[in-house]
Chain A
Amino acid sequence: MNHLVIAPLLLPLITGIALILLRGSANPLRRTLNVASTLALAVVAAALVLQASDGSVQVYRLGDWPAPFGIVLVADRLAALMVIITAVLAAAVLLHAVRGSDRDGRYFHVLFQLQLFGLNGAFLTGDLFNLFVFFEVLLIASYGLLLHGGGPLRTRAGLHFVVINLVGSTLFLFAVGALYGVLGTLNMADLARQAAAVAPDDVGVVRAAGLLLFAVFALKAALAPMHLWLPGAYGNTSLPVAAMFAIMTKVGAYAILRVYSLVFGADGGPVAGLLDPWLLPLALVTVAVGTFGLLASRRLALQAAHLVIVSAGTLLAAFGIGSDAAIAAGLYYLAHTTFAAAALFLLADIIGRARGDLHDNLVTGPVLPRTQLVGGLFLLSCITVAGIPPLSGFFGKLLILQSSVNTPWVSWVFGVLLVTSLLGIMALARSGSTLFFATDDRVATAPAPHNLDLVGVVSLVSAGIVLVVFADPVYAFARDAAMQLLQPGDYIAAVLPGAAVGAAP
């Protein structure tokens, strides 16, 4: 068996355990270990992408039990893409966090690695119950990270976040139980086979369970009307943590894409096309609602949080269109928006520190120290986020718009995405001019940001530039990943060798 598939799980898990054991030791040691492990994870993820790029679906049977009896990890193009996005984001955020904010709580490094463990597990698992377990792992770590640093506002936001996610976990279990009760399996490839051949009497239960699962994933992905938890949670936590959370809504989007292309996809027989009436309209509503929140925000971090909602909506709109071109465009946009939103959160952290008591509130203040450099980075990341040429946001949105041509939804997609883009540009331009131009006579007392403070932001912004320069291979990979998703036969055949695809057992 190919042990590379399990490496993205073992590496953060072992590092996390080692960091618990080292909790009494000096901070530089823990920082070095965490950074080294995260960079190693990026290398492992790159190897996984190379391996997946030939179109093979790698299956890792834990304990070597054959599926569907044992649990499997599956690395196809989509999973590899998600793992490398996570690893690059984590490395950039960590390089920012080790400049000081990791000292606000004792267990930052441990929780950071355990969060990576949960994220990679959720992307690589091929079993629905295992997906639940990895969701819980990444949520437990995120609860700890969210409260990192403490404070009443953060505690209140944390309480809301924990309660709503516990309710979500309960719904997830109800859905998993209903699927198991009817279909008798939880292996996703086997679920796909069984769902296609489900008895007419049981179709209702399977559809109900499928929609219940959608509600859970929509909650994680911050799809309207279940996005209301996000601004409070992301806007009140420490900003490096919020930057790391940029990938969390993408876990929900990934789960929607995976489960609904595999189990409820075109080959799903009586349960095919379960989400068609729901996903695209709700996603467009999400984009609109997120943009209104963006316009109303009085703090830069809150603006970034609403941008996360907008990006979740845009992403799910692409997945909702559902053609191979649209999913490919969505995957390209996913990579771009994760980096761009995280960059904005990290910039809000830098700007907030440099402004002292004003934090990142959008009010006039003193001239920032090193204002050209910070302002330049802010401009670059706003161009990226808002989708102005020539940076990656423009290409992501263009590809999504292009893929909606010739679908019945074309006027809605064009209308919503273009108008909200314009409103987004206005909101960001207003913030930029308030922060950098409308300054008063006060003198900044906070120390200027050190060059090393900017490493995280610079690497995220340059990741966006890399996405433009290498747009062709990245998009080709995304396109191949989308094709692979829309032909779940290969996935099912890889997980369940010997089983005839599409036939009932």
Chain B
Amino acid sequence: MEVLVSLVIAVLTACGVYLSLRGRTFPVVLGLTLLSYAVNLFLFVTGRLVIGAPPIIEAGRSVYADPLPQALVLTAIVISFGMTAFVVILALRARAELGIDHVDGKEGTQR
């Protein structure tokens, strides 16, 4: 399962990097979203993959899931959600004010 999770994170990150390097605001926003998904998953597994274990102390249990990464992920999700909402609005405003959805406000020289 470790291999599967790390592959998922790697693919999400690679797609995120590729998309955020694109020239139009919509792929860039999508790329940032994918990057934040990847980092959320990454943070989540820093507590190691444990299945069926409680995160808080319980009598008679010896295996626990680390609760701290879950709290960190929650914070990171809230922040990245708010940021995504903001950058979407900003991209729309840039489209309205600049008349084009290119991040530089004008078409690139090639293509």
Contacts and interface: CB of A to CB of B under 8 A. Distances in A.
Contacts of A133: 75, 79
A129 interface: yes
A163 B39 contact: no
B94 A163 contact: no
Contacts of A285: none
Interface string B36-66: 1011001101111000000000000000000
A153 to B, nearest CB: 8
A166 B20 CA distance: 10
A152 B98 contact: yes
A159 B103 CA distance: 8
B86 interface: yes
Contacts of B80: 169
Interface stretch (A174-182, A220-228, A442-450, A463-471): A174-182
A180 B69 contact: yes
Given A162-B90, A169-B79, 4 more contacts: A140-B82, A155-B98, A170-B35, A176-B72
Given A152-B98, A159-B25, A159-B103, A167 B46 contact: no
B29 to A, nearest CB: 8
Interface string B10-48: 000000100010000100100010011011001101111
Contact of A162 (B42, B87, B97): B87
Interface string A147-162: 1001110011011101
Contact of A163 (B45, B76, B103): B103
Contacts of A173: 39, 42-43, 76
Q: Which 4 A-B pairs have the closest CB atoms?
A: A181-B46, A173-B39, A177-B43, A152-B97
A490 interface: no
B75 A166 contact: no
B87 A177 contact: no
A143 interface: yes
Contacts of B39: 170, 173-174, 177
Contacts of B28: 163
Interface string A113-152: 0000000000000000100010010001001000100111
Interface of B: 16, 20, 25, 28, 32, 35-36, 38-39, 42-43, 45-48, 68-69, 72, 75-76, 79-80, 82-83, 86-87, 90-91, 93-94, 97-98, 103-105
Which of A150, A162, A174, A177 gathers most chain B CB within 10 Å? A177
A140 B76 contact: no
Given A152-B105, A155-B93, A177-B39, A163 B87 contact: yes
A158 B25 CA distance: 13
Given A174-B42, A177-B42, A167 B90 contact: no
A178 B91 CA distance: 32
A155 B104 CA distance: 11
B94 A155 contact: yes
B105 A163 contact: no
A173 B80 CA distance: 11
Contacts of B43: 173, 176-177, 180
Contacts of A170: 16, 32, 35-36, 38-39
B35 A160 contact: no
Contacts of A166: 32, 35-36, 83, 87
A150 B36 CA distance: 28
Contacts of A158: 90
A158 B42 CA distance: 29
A43 B72 CA distance: 34
A170 B12 CA distance: 13
Contacts of A156: 94, 98, 103-105
A133 B82 CA distance: 13
A128 B46 CA distance: 15
A237 to B, nearest CB: 14
A178 B83 CA distance: 23
Contacts of B87: 159, 162-163, 166
Which of A129, A140, A173 gathers most chain B CB within 10 Å? A173
A178 B80 CA distance: 19
Given A140-B86, A143-B86, A177-B43, A155 B32 contact: no
B40 to A, nearest CB: 8
Contacts of A177: 39, 42-43, 46, 69, 72
Nearest to B28: A163
A178 B43 CA distance: 8
A181 B75 CA distance: 17
